[in-house]
């Protein structure tokens, strides 16, 4: 293997590379979806795969999400490893029936004899100025379905590592791609021995002592920025990037909260019935005696995703995170 020196790469390139490497290594890996072939996907994540591996391995399907995922189920039954692309978060909904009734349950209903080693890639979340139906954060729906893994990268390196892990997984993985991070860059070398994050492991992105920001996907950079800004107030914030919503890494999260005694969950999905409620409850159940304050949530408003000209008011930004941190009753400590 020739080693490629680290140079700036985007998350989009890392995702493409992950599929390419997986397809090169394992002939059973197939990519399918709308416009994934000749065009390389509307975000160009599958760019060049059809050319390199042929249309049978990277297939432009008819425009039908249930059909795409449903046929992928049959392909997985026959020993292939389909990687399905849903064009946008809100266009994955027609495929929910297949996802919930079959993809997530097949191993269980067949007593373990028929796994579903497939990946559903969903570009999700807002912040790119998309019009209606192009910015949903649908993670709570997926999280509520036993049998699925739900992961979401926040860095270029994780985009590669987690997608490789997802494709290698013998269980179905809903792979949520924070689309506003597609063009985020990092010095990255695909051939350097990067540790492929095992699914289910959170990571401390920034150590700190004052409070823990628990977050994932598109909100990770927001939290890192907030942590930098918080230094001015004398707060030293720890940022935990979950990477995997299912399985949930209670260990890393709780170890952090026990150290800091305070926690804020940050995500752009709605707060009511959203992932933050589950996370706050878990943290409270496990760390109650270590908590100096209630676990707070900073989430998107409980509204349908707003039109693009208003989305900046909806998306939790640095200020909202800092406001929440300020509400963690600091006086109690001093």
Name the residues annotated as catalytic.
134
CA-to-CA distance for 142 and 132, rounded, in angstroms? 21
Considering only residues 208 through 247, tell me which ones interact with another protein, judged by CB under 8 A.
246-247
Q: Give yes or no for residue 80 binding another protein (CB under 8 A).
A: yes
Considering only residues 51 through 70, tell me which ones interact with another protein, judged by CB under 8 A.
56, 61-62, 64, 66-67, 69-70
The smaller minimum CB distance to another protein, of residues 116 and 239, is found at 116
The smaller minimum CB distance to another protein, of residues 115 and 207, is found at 115
Q: Give yes or no for residue 111 binding another protein (CB under 8 A).
A: yes
Using a 10 angstrom Cβ sphere, with 0-12 exposed, 13-18 middle and 19 or more buried, the burial of residue 217 is buried
When binding is defined by CB under 8 A, the residue of 93, 94, 225, 317 that contacts another protein is 94
When binding is defined by CB under 8 A, the residue of 35, 97, 225, 323 that contacts another protein is 97
The smaller minimum CB distance to another protein, of residues 122 and 254, is found at 254
CA neighbor of 186 nearest in space, from 19, 43, 13: 13
CA-to-CA distance for 4 and 193, rounded, in angstroms? 11
Considering only residues 117 through 136, tell me which ones interact with another protein, judged by CB under 8 A.
none
When binding is defined by CB under 8 A, the residue of 43, 175, 188, 248 that contacts another protein is 248
Is-contact 134 85, C-beta < 8 A? Answer: no
The smaller minimum CB distance to another protein, of residues 200 and 276, is found at 200
* Least distance between another protein and beta carbon 279 (Å): 13
Considering only residues 144 through 173, tell me which ones interact with another protein, judged by CB under 8 A.
146-147, 149, 169-171
Question: What does the DSSP assignment read for 32-65?
Answer: EETT-SSS--TT-TTTTHHHHH-TTTEEE--S-H
The residue written with tokens 């878990």 in the block is: 282
Q: Give yes or no for residue 108 binding another protein (CB under 8 A).
A: yes
Q: Give yes or no for residue 74 binding another protein (CB under 8 A).
A: yes
Is-contact 72 119, C-beta < 8 A? Answer: no
* Least distance between another protein and beta carbon 143 (Å): 12
Q: In what order do the strands lie in the sheet with 263-270?
A: 203-206, 237-241, 211-215, 263-270, 296-300
When binding is defined by CB under 8 A, the residue of 1, 2, 5, 112 that contacts another protein is 112
The single-letter DSSP state of residue 103 is: I
* Least distance between another protein and beta carbon 255 (Å): 13
Q: Helices in 144-218 by DSSP H: which ranges?
A: 156-168
When binding is defined by CB under 8 A, the residue of 113, 195, 234, 334 that contacts another protein is 113
DSSP-derived 3-state class of residue 74 = helix
The smaller minimum CB distance to another protein, of residues 18 and 69, is found at 69
Task: Return the H-helix or E-strand segment holding 19.
Answer: helix 11-25
* Least distance between another protein and beta carbon 30 (Å): 8
Q: Which stretch binds another protein (CB under 8 A): 109-117, 157-165, 265-273, 309-317?
A: 109-117
CA-to-CA distance for 177 and 213, rounded, in angstroms? 21
Angle (CA) 90-96-101 rounded to 5° is: 170
When binding is defined by CB under 8 A, the residue of 7, 51, 109, 312 that contacts another protein is 109
Angle (CA) 105-109-113 rounded to 5° is: 105
Q: Give yes or no for residue 77 binding another protein (CB under 8 A).
A: yes
Considering only residues 20 through 39, tell me which ones interact with another protein, judged by CB under 8 A.
30
* HEC string for 271-303: CCCCHHHHHHHHHHHHHHHHCCCCCEEEEECCC
Which residues are near another protein by CB under 8 A?
Answer: 30, 56, 61-62, 64, 66-67, 69-80, 82, 94, 97-98, 101-102, 105-115, 146-147, 149, 169-171, 200, 246-248, 250-251
């Amino acid at each position: 293997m020739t080693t490629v020196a680290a140079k700036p790469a985007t998350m989009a390139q890392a995702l493409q590379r992950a599929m390419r490497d997986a397809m090169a290594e394992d002939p059973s890996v197939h990519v399918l979806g709308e416009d994934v072939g000749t065009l390389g996907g509307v975000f160009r994540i599958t760019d060049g795969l059809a050319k390199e591996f042929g249309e049978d391995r990277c297939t432009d399907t008819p425009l039908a999400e249930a059909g795409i995922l449903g046929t992928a189920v049959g392909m997985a039954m026959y020993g292939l490893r389909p990687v399905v692309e849903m064009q946008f978060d809100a266009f994955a909904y027609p495929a929910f029936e297949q996802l919930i009734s079959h993809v997530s349950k097949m191993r269980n209903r067949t007593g373990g004899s028929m796994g579903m080693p497939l990946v559903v890639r969903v570009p999700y979340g807002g912040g790119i100025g998309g019009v209606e139906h192009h910015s949903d954060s649908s993670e709570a729906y997926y999280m509520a379905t036993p049998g699925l893994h739900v992961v979401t990268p926040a860095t270029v390196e994780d985009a590669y590592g987690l997608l490789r892990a997802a494709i290698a997984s013998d269980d179905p993985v809903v792979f949520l791609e924070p689309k506003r991070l597609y063009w985020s860059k990092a010095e990255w070398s695909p051939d350097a021995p990067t540790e492929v994050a095992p699914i289910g492991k959170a990571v401390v992105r920034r150590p700190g002592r004052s409070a823990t920001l628990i977050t994932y996907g598109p909100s990770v950079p927001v939290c890192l920025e907030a942590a930098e800004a918080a230094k001015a107030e004398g707060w030293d914030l720890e940022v935990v990037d979950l990477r995997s919503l299912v399985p949930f890494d209670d260990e890393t999260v709780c170890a952090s909260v026990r150290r800091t005694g305070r926690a804020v969950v940050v995500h752009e999905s709605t707060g009511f019935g959203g992932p933050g409620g589950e996370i706050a409850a878990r943290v409270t159940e496990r760390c109650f005696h270590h908590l100096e304050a209630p676990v707070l949530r900073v989430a998107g408003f409980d509204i349908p995703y707003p039109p693009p000209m208003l989305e900046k008011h909806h998306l939790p930004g640095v200020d909202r995170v800092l406001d929440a941190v300020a509400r963690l009753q600091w006086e109690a400590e001093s």
